[in-house]
Chains A and B, each alone.
Chain A
């Protein structure tokens, strides 16, 4: 196999994820009762035998640095292996912050040259999917392509927030990319880009340098068009599960795909690795399910202590559900606590938050309720569906006993 270097775009903060990304980049958003979103591309890279990875990050990188731990969780440490975080830097000729995805890679051309790979794979770190990148690399090499972009089929709609393309009908795996439009306002194109790019290294470096003086620095908007003009660009058709985590609703839906009798995401067969030494996971005892608990269609991990009723929900390590509490259709992050007599429905409760006794959170037709990290909701509080509660709020911040749909508590 060709020498491959992967660049993972992991830095962004997405406004639509609101309070969930106040203190962390979206790539370390907890997912699936144990994992972080970036574990999916990292595990895919590991299973694809790609062992040299640069992770581009600039938004609140502490949790990400901690989590990726030099690539150790994915066996990427060793004399021929590495996974390193590449933060933005100041230097002679280098500006400070990454101005976009392409600029992030452009500022690390030295890192690419150091590894002198034949192929650079650029992937975004915020999707839930399983893919053997060797298949698309093999396709790329067989087609003698300069750039291969992975696509998935979407129903054609008026406008799109994805890059859309048209792929020539060469073979089942894909073909020449004939049209590419970045987030078009109106389009009948039905192949959406998965932001997985396989580049011939020298041409990538040339295109990045060519684009540097421009005002925009995005792969979809700027780099792919450069390639479309002058080079051989192929589209690779991916047909497996593809989960978005870009908005609260998408994140929730992608999470709920883990549940049910025949889950769309069969996490048990995906062989995902995460950082088990992370302090949010390590040294916890196995879960304890108490004498008065009922659990129905639930995922949970070590350190959980369940004494109430839980249905159709995902509990991260260390969650406590006291006797008489009810949790339904919800996602509770690390060490969240639901006190006795509370009811929590259609809610995402971030790490370390506490729901006081006899409170009633979420539910109803008005959308999801999101409660930020380490917030303590006082007892007997009614928080309707569609309410957003900011992180790190103490009980005395809650002046009222009821918060209506659409309100933001801060």
Chain B
């Protein structure tokens, strides 16, 4: 039987990632040095033999569209393979934005009806995980389900963030609760669905409801055809700054279950970046690297411990960077110290400056719900001047030139917007 076609919902805003999603959708956020979050789902698709893919975008889709390109990086280009990007279209009303996951699929129902497969997978581009979708499709067929939802056991205190399923002993879902404050099951939906194609078309035509979790699944449940596929592997939502940092740090841990190399995680190395290939990493005789992920094109003359470095990062002599995520083409100048921080692309940290050191109990004043655990985030292309200190739980906005800091130190929990509108 033919592999299913896949619809990848890549519209996620991911607003709790704060300034990391100021210029890009959550699926386009860089991860693990050379990847973006969506690479995990795209690689799962490719490694599962799925060759017919629609990507539905909405929020700030430019870097995502650049990144996906024609799909070549995931072997989705060719005469019998495709990846099509569907931004929201203007319909009868001026702006028919997608109103929810089901609405997004409904607005592109022609992709579903034209697919040559009997099943449609609906996926999200927001998660970091390795999964062979073929096993789930086999399960779906064996159970003669019309809808199968991938589920994972989560800690009880997190159940309110998820749709949760109560199942019978044949994995059939008998009750469904969407983001319930008092969930009766901790078997959470991963936002991964297999639908019989005709059944999906019928559900979406009969109702006008906007969301799978809130509306469509409860409708289908009544017919007794919805099953829960149990998944036990590594799966992270990386929806908060702390979760994003944790998942990056999991890459060092051989026992964590996340190994981009062994499950052939693919990315598009050609999008953006320089016009030549990133040269090998150079660690000079003064450089010192320990327990870190280091991407091509980095030059290390200082010390790097417990870090994830994206391509093209320069760490100058006497600089020390620890427990941090440093994205593409950042420069850490001589003697600078960076701890527990996330630096978006092309950030410069001036000589002798200290970033991220402070009292983690002082949460961010503007966004206490985003930065509360002792991490500092610096936006793309901001230039931190030499000789200052930036504390912990700080948010520094993108594109701030060094002179705008006027030499002042940034205390714990402060936010520097540089005159830009706050989110």
Residue pairs across A and B with Cβ atoms less than 8 A apart, 28 shown, are: A32-B280, A33-B280, A34-B279, A43-B276, A267-B280, A268-B299, A271-B274, A271-B276, A272-B277, A283-B265, A283-B266, A285-B34, A285-B260, A285-B265, A287-B294, A288-B252, A288-B294, A290-B290, A293-B289, A295-B288, A298-B282, A299-B280, A299-B282, A300-B280, A300-B283, A301-B281, A301-B296, A314-B280
- Do B291 and A289 touch (CB < 8 A)? yes
Q: In the complex, A271→B276 CA distance in Å? A: 5
- Do B281 and A287 touch (CB < 8 A)? yes
Tell me whether B113 is interfacial, beta carbon within 8 Å. no
- Do B269 and A285 touch (CB < 8 A)? no
Known: A273-B277, A276-B277, A302-B34. A286 touches B283 (CB 8 A): no
Q: Could you tell me the distance in whole angstroms from the C-beta of A212 to the nearest C-beta in chain B?
A: 40
Q: In the complex, A302→B298 CA distance in Å? A: 11
Tell me whether A296 is interfacial, beta carbon within 8 Å. yes
Tell me whether A101 is interfacial, beta carbon within 8 Å. no
Q: In the complex, A300→B309 CA distance in Å? A: 14
- Do B290 and A293 touch (CB < 8 A)? yes
Give chain A interface residues in 282-329, CB to chain B under 8 Å.
282-291, 293-303, 314-315
- Do A276 and B282 touch (CB < 8 A)? no
Q: Could you tell me the distance in whole angstroms from the C-beta of B288 to the nearest C-beta in chain A?
A: 7
Tell me whether B33 is interfacial, beta carbon within 8 Å. yes
0/1 interface trace, chain B 279-311, chain A, CB 8 Å (1 if under): 111111101111111111101000000000100
Select which of A43, A268, A294, A302 is within 8 A of B295 by beta carbon. Answer: A302
| Given A34-B296, A285-B260, A286-B34, 5 new contacts (CB under 8 A) | A32-B280, A271-B274, A276-B269, A299-B280, A315-B280
- Most B CB contacts (10 A, CB to CB) among A274, A282, A289, A300 go to A289
Instruction: Find chain B residues with CB under 8 A from A272 CB.
Output: 276-277, 279
> In the complex, how many residue pairs between chain A and chain B have their CB atoms under 8 Å apart?
101
Q: Could you tell me the distance in whole angstroms from the C-beta of B26 to the nearest C-beta in chain A?
A: 21
- Do A297 and B285 touch (CB < 8 A)? yes
Tell me whether B356 is interfacial, beta carbon within 8 Å. no
- Do B275 and A261 touch (CB < 8 A)? no
- Do B294 and A289 touch (CB < 8 A)? yes
When C-beta atoms are compared, the residue in chain A nearest to B280 turns out to be A33
Select which of B279, B282, B294 is within 8 A of A286 by beta carbon. Answer: B294
Instruction: Find chain A residues with CB under 8 A from B283 CB.
Output: 295-298, 300
Instruction: Find chain A residues with CB under 8 A from B293 CB.
Output: 285-288
Q: Could you tell me the distance in whole angstroms from the C-beta of A192 to the nearest C-beta in chain B?
A: 28
Q: Could you tell me the distance in whole angstroms from the C-beta of B329 to the nearest C-beta in chain A?
A: 13
Known: A268-B282, A297-B283. A286 touches B277 (CB 8 A): no
Tell me whether B350 is interfacial, beta carbon within 8 Å. no
Q: Could you tell me the distance in whole angstroms from the C-beta of A152 to the nearest C-beta in chain B?
A: 24
When C-beta atoms are compared, the residue in chain A nearest to B281 turns out to be A300
Q: In the complex, A267→B259 CA distance in Å? A: 30
0/1 interface trace, chain B 376-403, chain A, CB 8 Å (1 if under): 0000000000000000000000000000
When C-beta atoms are compared, the residue in chain A nearest to B260 turns out to be A285
When C-beta atoms are compared, the residue in chain B nearest to A306 turns out to be B289
Q: Could you tell me the distance in whole angstroms from the C-beta of A261 to the nearest C-beta in chain B?
A: 7
Tell me whether B155 is interfacial, beta carbon within 8 Å. no
Instruction: Find chain B residues with CB under 8 A from A282 CB.
Output: 266
- Do A290 and B34 touch (CB < 8 A)? no
The 8 tightest CB contacts between A and B, nearest first, are A33-B280, A271-B276, A285-B261, A286-B33, A286-B295, A299-B280, A291-B291, A295-B283
Q: In the complex, A314→B34 CA distance in Å? A: 21
Q: Could you tell me the distance in whole angstroms from the C-beta of B376 to the nearest C-beta in chain A?
A: 23
Instruction: Find chain A residues with CB under 8 A from B295 CB.
Output: 286-287, 302
Instruction: Find chain A residues with CB under 8 A from B277 CB.
Output: 34, 272-274, 276
Q: In the complex, A316→B284 CA distance in Å? A: 17
- Do A284 and B261 touch (CB < 8 A)? yes
- Do A261 and B261 touch (CB < 8 A)? no
0/1 interface trace, chain A 26-42, chain B, CB 8 Å (1 if under): 00000011100000000
When C-beta atoms are compared, the residue in chain A nearest to B307 turns out to be A289
Q: Could you tell me the distance in whole angstroms from the C-beta of A230 to the nearest C-beta in chain B?
A: 42
Q: Could you tell me the distance in whole angstroms from the C-beta of A330 to the nearest C-beta in chain B?
A: 15
Tell me whether B99 is interfacial, beta carbon within 8 Å. no
Instruction: Find chain A residues with CB under 8 A from B71 CB.
Output: none
Instruction: Find chain A residues with CB under 8 A from B184 CB.
Output: none
Q: In the complex, A268→B301 CA distance in Å? A: 15
Known: A287-B294, A288-B252, A297-B285. A276 touches B261 (CB 8 A): no
Select which of A268, A288, A289 is within 8 A of B279 by beta carbon. Answer: A268
Q: Could you tell me the distance in whole angstroms from the C-beta of B139 to the nearest C-beta in chain A?
A: 28
Q: In the complex, A291→B253 CA distance in Å? A: 11
Q: Could you tell me the distance in whole angstroms from the C-beta of B38 to the nearest C-beta in chain A?
A: 16
0/1 interface trace, chain B 164-202, chain A, CB 8 Å (1 if under): 000000000000000000000000000000000000000
Tell me whether B264 is interfacial, beta carbon within 8 Å. yes
Tell me whether B358 is interfacial, beta carbon within 8 Å. no
When C-beta atoms are compared, the residue in chain B nearest to A34 turns out to be B280
Tell me whether B270 is interfacial, beta carbon within 8 Å. yes
Q: In the complex, A10→B378 CA distance in Å? A: 48
Instruction: Find chain A residues with CB under 8 A from B284 CB.
Output: 261, 296-297
Instruction: Find chain A residues with CB under 8 A from B270 CB.
Output: 276
Q: In the complex, A341→B288 CA distance in Å? A: 21
Q: In the complex, A268→B298 CA distance in Å? A: 10
Q: In the complex, A285→B289 CA distance in Å? A: 17
Instruction: Find chain B residues with CB under 8 A from A299 CB.
Output: 279-282
Q: Could you tell me the distance in whole angstroms from the C-beta of A234 to the nearest C-beta in chain B?
A: 31
Instruction: Find chain A residues with CB under 8 A from B265 CB.
Output: 283, 285
- Do B276 and A290 touch (CB < 8 A)? no
Q: Could you tell me the distance in whole angstroms from the C-beta of A264 to the nearest C-beta in chain B?
A: 14
Q: Could you tell me the distance in whole angstroms from the C-beta of B292 to the nearest C-beta in chain A?
A: 5
When C-beta atoms are compared, the residue in chain B nearest to A271 turns out to be B276
When C-beta atoms are compared, the residue in chain B nearest to A263 turns out to be B282
Instruction: Find chain A residues with CB under 8 A from B281 CB.
Output: 287, 299-301
0/1 interface trace, chain A 13-51, chain B, CB 8 Å (1 if under): 000000000000000000011100000000100000000
Q: In the complex, A43→B276 CA distance in Å? A: 9
Instruction: Find chain B residues with CB under 8 A from A302 CB.
Output: 34, 295-296
Instruction: Find chain B residues with CB under 8 A from A297 CB.
Output: 283-285
Tell me whether B213 is interfacial, beta carbon within 8 Å. no
- Do B290 and A291 touch (CB < 8 A)? yes
When C-beta atoms are compared, the residue in chain A nearest to B34 turns out to be A286
Q: In the complex, A164→B186 CA distance in Å? A: 80
